[in-house]
Structure formats: C-alpha cells, structure tokens
C-alpha cells in the first residue's frame, strides 16, 4: 500500500483534577492534539504547544519520525482548564493567609498604604489553583493523545493513498493500451511517409523519368544520381521518424511504474522520477510524430502523465 502526504487527525481527552477521564470537576482540564499534514519534499515538523507540556515535544517528534518519512506536519497541543477553576473551592487558603499576613505587616509600617483590591488578590500568584492536574498526568495524556492521533492520521493517509494508487494504475493501463495500439502501425506509417518523400523528391529533382532525345548514358547517370540521393534522404528521414526505441522504453517505464505502485511503501520519490522518464519519452514521441495518429497519441500520453505527476507529488 502507498500513503498520501495529506491528512488530518484530532484526539481530545477530558480530565478531572485527580487525573481521571472526567473534566466536570473543579480543576479539571481538556487536552487535545491535532495533526495536519500536507506535501513536502522532506519531513518538516512544526510544534505549537503550551510551555507547561513543552517537555513532550522530543517524544512526540521521535514518535512521528518513526512513522512518517515526508510531509509538512503541524502538531497543535491545546490544554483548556475546567470551567469551575474560579470557584471558591479553587482558592488556595494557605496562600490567602500568607498574603493577608504580608499586607498586615506592610500596613503596620506604612499606615497610608492602600489595602489590596479583590481583583489584585485573585491575580496574586498561587492564590487561584488553575489546575490540580499534575504535570506528569498532563504529559502522559498529551503523549497518549498524540499516539492515538498519529494512528488515525496514518489511516487517513492510507485511505487517500489507496485512492491515488487506483487512479495511477488506471492511467498506466490507458497508456499501455495506447502504446499497444500504435506499435503495430509504426512500420506502415514509416513506409507511407517514406513513399511520400520519394514522390516529392522525384518531383523536385525532375529527373525521375529521362527526357526524350537524351543519351542513354546521361539518362542512366541521372537516374543513378537521383536514386542514390533519394535513398539517402529516405533513409535519414526513416531513422528520424522511427519511434520503436521510444515505444520500447515507454513499455519498460510503464511496467516499472506499475511494479512500484503494486509493491507499495514510500514510493513518492521513485514515482516522481518515473514520471520524468515517461514524460521525456512522450515528448520525444511527439517530436518524431510524422502522422496525426502519432501526434494524437503523444498528446494523450502527456496529458495522462501530467495527471499522474500531480498525484505523485502528494505521495509519501
């Protein structure tokens, strides 16, 4: 099987303050990991996560590098605290008592000092327990979400890759049919074109038939010269329009392309190279096309190759 480089996966888990899967209690949290991938020549990982779980980056990076070889990957880790974190039960009473003692000590010395406002007290570090979920629990949950999201991402990329493989094989079959159709016609087409050039050269040289009154030796010499000249031109022209080698290489390249797709794995770069080779042969075929049949075949081949090339750019 082959894999696409584009895909999306998202996993979310809710946690209570004690780390169990329930965020309804005060101090709970919601952890989500999103993975977005698009095509790229190399593996490019871009992390966006809160600083309190930044320590997970190295493990997530290793996890992704073990499963992905190409693509631009955006990893988003979001942590949302529970809605009840500002309730009375979320207040750190020990911190409040320490703050009150500090304020009393300051006021006892500076009698004109203003008392702290409620908003200032609540914003004081440590007064509000933003979450009682431990760092270890958050780390384990982030890594668990990342592993699950990666598994779902691989499934998405596999399904899309299977569809792309089906399209590529369909195009390969169409191209093989075109080559098989025009291959038997090549000798006849070459002979037809050679006959046309013989007739044109005879007409242009004007000595294909000896004139009345001319000596036999002069006429014979003229015919020999004309015949040799025509033979040379026809031979050169026949070599120039002969596409047997191009058709043979097309068959070989198409067979290799089919083999690579059937084999599966990380085939993107290999198939990209095969598209270059196929396009080169199709262009050569078009430049040598001496008839409408060959020109039309070359154009169709190039259109099919271009469709494949666009899809191959998205393969891992």
Please give the model's pTM, rounded to 2 decimal places.
0.67
The Cα 275–Cα 309 span in angstroms is 6
pLDDT of residue 146: 95
Proportion of the chain above pLDDT 70, given as a percent: 73
pLDDT of residue 8: 96
pLDDT of residue 203: 67
Lowest mean pLDDT among 101-105, 140-144, 154-158, 233-237: 233-237
Q: Check if the beta carbon of residue 223 is closer than 8 Å to that of residue 210.
A: yes
Model confidence pLDDT, tens digit, residues 278-308: 999 998 888 777 678 888 989 999 999 999 9
pLDDT of residue 217: 45
Q: Check if the beta carbon of residue 75 is closer than 8 Å to that of residue 35.
A: yes
pLDDT of residue 154: 95
Which of the 8 DSSP states describes residue 208?
S
Model confidence pLDDT, tens digit, residues 55-72: 999 999 999 999 999 999
pLDDT of residue 201: 62
Q: How confident is the model at residue 272 (pLDDT cuts 50, 70, 90)?
A: very high
pLDDT of residue 23: 44
List the structure tokens of 164.
Answer: 């792309």
The CATH number of domain 7-85+132-154 is 1.10.1740: no
Number of H helices, E strands in the chain: 9, 4
Lowest mean pLDDT among 15-19, 49-53, 178-182: 15-19
Model confidence pLDDT, tens digit, residues 22-42: 544 445 678 999 999 999 989
pLDDT of residue 65: 95
pLDDT of residue 240: 58
pLDDT of residue 211: 43
The Cα 156–Cα 139 span in angstroms is 26
3-state secondary structure of 299: helix
Which of the given ranges, 4-18, 115-129, 189-203, 248-262, has the highest pLDDT on average? 248-262
End-to-end Cα distance, the chain: 11
Is residue 131 over pLDDT 60? no
Model confidence pLDDT, tens digit, residues 179-209: 998 888 776 666 666 566 666 666 666 544 4
List the structure tokens of 234.
Answer: 């026809």
Cα distances from 20 to residues 13, 118, 132, in angstroms, run 10, 33, 12
3-state secondary structure of 177: helix
3-state secondary structure of 127: coil
For residue 299, count CB atoms less than 10 angstroms from its CB and return exposed for 0-12, middle for 13-18, buried for 19 or more. Answer: middle
Is residue 123 over pLDDT 90? no
Q: Check if the beta carbon of residue 58 is closer than 8 Å to that of residue 28.
A: no
């Amino acid at each position: 099987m082959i894999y696409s480089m584009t895909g999306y996966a998202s996993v979310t888990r809710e946690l209570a303050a004690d780390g169990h899967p329930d965020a309804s209690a005060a101090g709970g949290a919601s952890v989500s990991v999103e993975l977005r991938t698009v095509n790229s020549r190399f593996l490019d990982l871009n992390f966006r996560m809160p600083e309190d779980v930044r320590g997970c980056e190295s493990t997530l990076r290793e996890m992704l590098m073990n499963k992905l070889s190409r693509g631009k990957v955006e990893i988003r880790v979001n942590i949302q605290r529970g809605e009840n974190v500002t309730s009375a039960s979320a207040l750190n009473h020990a911190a409040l008592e320490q703050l009150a003692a500090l304020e009393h000590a300051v006021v006892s010395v500076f009698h004109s000092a203003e008392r702290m406002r409620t908003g200032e007290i609540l914003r004081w570090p440590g007064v509000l327990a933003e979450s009682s979920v431990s760092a270890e629990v958050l780390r384990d949950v982030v890594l668990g979400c990342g592993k699950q999201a990666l598994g779902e991402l691989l499934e998405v990329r596999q399904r899309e890759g299977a569809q792309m493989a089906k399209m590529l094989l369909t195009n390969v079959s169409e191209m093989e049919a075109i080559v098989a159709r025009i291959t038997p016609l090549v000798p006849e087409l070459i002979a037809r074109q050679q006959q046309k050039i013989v007739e044109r050269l005879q007409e242009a040289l004007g000595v294909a038939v000896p004139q009345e009154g001319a000596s036999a030796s002069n006429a014979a010499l003229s015919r020999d010269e004309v015949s040799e000249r025509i033979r040379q031109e026809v031979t050169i022209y026949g070599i120039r329009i002969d596409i047997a080698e191009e058709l043979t290489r097309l068959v070989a390249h198409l067979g290799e392309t089919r083999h690579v797709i059937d084999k599966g794995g990380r085939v993107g770069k290999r198939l990209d190279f095969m598209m270059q080779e196929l396009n080169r042969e199709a262009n050569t075929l078009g430049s040598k096309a001496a008839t409408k049949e060959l020109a039309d075949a070359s154009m169709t081949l190039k259109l099919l190759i271009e469709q494949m090339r666009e899809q191959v750019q998205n393969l891992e």
